[in-house]
Amino acid sequence: MSSTSEEFLKESEQKAFDIDQRRIINYNIDKYDTAFERGSSRFINLDNSKKKAHVIKWKVMENLDKLLPEFEANFQKRGGRVIWANDADEACREIHAIIERAGAKTVIKSKSMATEEIHLNAYLEKHGVESLESDLGEYIIQLLGQEPYHMVTPAMHLSKEDIGKLFNEKFGSPADSTPEQLTQKARELLRDKYLKADVGITGANFIIADTGSIAISENEGNARLTTSFPKIQIAVVGIEKMIPSITDLDLFWPMLATHGTGQNVTVYNTILSGPRQDQETDGPEEMYVVLLDNGRTNLLAQKEQRQGLYCIRCGACLNVCPIFQNIGGHTYETTYGGPIGSVITPHMRGMQDFKHLSYASSLCGKCTEVCPVKIDIHKMLLLNRRDAVSENLAPVKEKWGWEIWKKGMLKRNLTDFFGGKMKNFLMRTFFKKSWGHYKEMPNVAEKSFSQLWKEGKRPEKFD
């Protein structure tokens, strides 16, 4: 068992019995459920919209080698520059090189999971560049020195009392501040940063091939400020975020908003097609798009599992997942947690270290049911498990255990030979520590159904 999986089991056990954490998460997810039910009811035929989105993303993945150059050509026509990054190190180096050439010292960032994935803030800090998050949830997480808990709501695990205490310690705000007062305080602190920042860094929800544009959805307006004031803008985007046409946004924007937060459409939706043009009054003088691979082509090469790249990062599968609700987002030790993270992370970061995530599922199928692009998530998890076994990555003890179980299950005489007393002894001796330290171990009947049947005890005679 790898150290990553051992740490996962340890953290999972702690979080699963953290009553306060579960109370906060359940409260926030209940609010999401109510909003999602209301928002999804506005679709005349939600399932048909999902099928259409699935087909579009399927076409994208089958033609990614054509759509990416098309985007690059169209973006460059308007003065933008495209950087291709094979991995996190290359992306960080290229971004830092742009900042260094400009002599910049301060960066303002809007919410971006791609920059979290490459650990850009830590890289820039190490090289003497101040990088500040402007999304309120990300800003709170940055103050705490934590990773995002959830891909849409990064501070989901914190109560308003937790945030009030944080602002009181950092800025002297009243500890009993209301959410509105805390938001206002953050706005006061951040507004000046937009004006002084040398570089603005964003992500993108979609990249559009036929217009050479990026599309950004947000609820706070920080991305618009990030792309308007600084002279240089850098967008870091995974190559899977491609859509063929700007007309596809009339489907994907409502689907993203409804499944992400329950809204009909997100408050701010922005399309950017390059740096400021001569006739425009605001915007950056230079604009770069960093197209990030970082393991995505590894997943693209998997014919059966490349569906994982259809994901539009709405976070809906996390919100319905019983495992995520019990163990939380930080336990996964990966940027993308929950069911979809468990599908894509083993391919992006290595099956050896992250195969355990594909086993952290009840396979209830709620993730597949809710997915706005109809990714067959629970099937992908099973395929990952298959791959882990076929690549001979299972621990020796696990192999022996399943081999013994298989032999016993294939022969009735072996199953009956180890009677109830023996089975109970084996469970108490070998499995009490791992399975029974929080609950009573099951008590196996002394005789099997087969033995009882042979003794003439028919179902109507059973106690």
Give the residue extent of every domain in the chain.
65-294, 397-461
pLDDT of 437 > 80? The answer is no
Name the H helices within 41-85: 46-62, 64-77
Q: What is the CATH number of domain 65-294?
A: 3.40.50.10420
pLDDT of 1 > 70? The answer is no
Q: Is 410 left (phi over 0), alpha (psi -120 to 50) or beta?
A: alpha
pLDDT of 186 > 60? The answer is yes
Beta-sheet pairing, 232-238 with 242-243: unpaired
- List pLDDT tens digits, range 101-120: 999 999 999 999 999 999 99
Average pLDDT over residues 299-313: 96
CB 393 within 8 A of CB 407: no
pLDDT of 189 > 70? The answer is yes
> Amino acid identity, residue 116?
E
pLDDT for the residue numbered 446: 80
Neighbours of 212 (CB within 10 A): 22
CA atoms within 13 A of residue 275's CA, in its CB half-sphere: 18
pLDDT of 222 > 70? The answer is yes
Residue 411's pLDDT band, with cuts at 50, 70 and 90, is confident
Q: Tell me which residue has tokens 């199953």.
A: 415
Average pLDDT over residues 3-13: 88
Mean pLDDT of the chain: 92
| pTM score, whole prediction | 0.90
pLDDT for the residue numbered 417: 73
Residue 295's pLDDT band, with cuts at 50, 70 and 90, is very high
pLDDT of 462 > 60? The answer is no
pLDDT for the residue numbered 195: 86
Average pLDDT over residues 244-260: 97
pLDDT of 384 > 90? The answer is yes
Q: Which two tokens stand for residue 21?
A: 């954490």
CB 380 within 8 A of CB 308: yes
Which residues fall within 8 angstroms of residue 357, CB to CB, at 6 or more apart?
8, 332, 334, 341, 342, 345, 346
pLDDT for the residue numbered 463: 53
Which of 186-190, 262-266, 412-416 is most confident?
Answer: 262-266
Which residues fall within 8 angstroms of residue 453, CB to CB, at 6 or more apart?
none
pLDDT of 91 > 90? The answer is yes
Per cent of the chain over pLDDT 90 is: 76
Q: Which two tokens stand for residue 76?
A: 């460059």
pLDDT for the residue numbered 436: 67
- List pLDDT tens digits, range 438-456: 777 888 888 778 778 888 7
Average pLDDT over residues 139-145: 95
Nearest to 117 by CA among 240, 256, 238: 238
Residue 2's pLDDT band, with cuts at 50, 70 and 90, is low
Q: How far apart are CA 365 and CA 376, in angstroms?
A: 9
Average pLDDT over residues 381-396: 91
Residue 334's pLDDT band, with cuts at 50, 70 and 90, is very high
Per cent of the chain over pLDDT 70 is: 98
Nearest to 106 by CA among 180, 177, 198: 198
Question: Which H or E run contains 85?
Answer: strand 81-85
Average pLDDT over residues 216-236: 95
Residue 429's pLDDT band, with cuts at 50, 70 and 90, is confident
pLDDT for the residue numbered 460: 62
More confident of the two residues 89 and 403: 89
| Sheet with strand 242-243: strands edge to edge | 242-243, 206-208, 213-218, 268-272
pLDDT of 38 > 90? The answer is yes
pLDDT for the residue numbered 445: 84
pLDDT of 137 > 80? The answer is yes
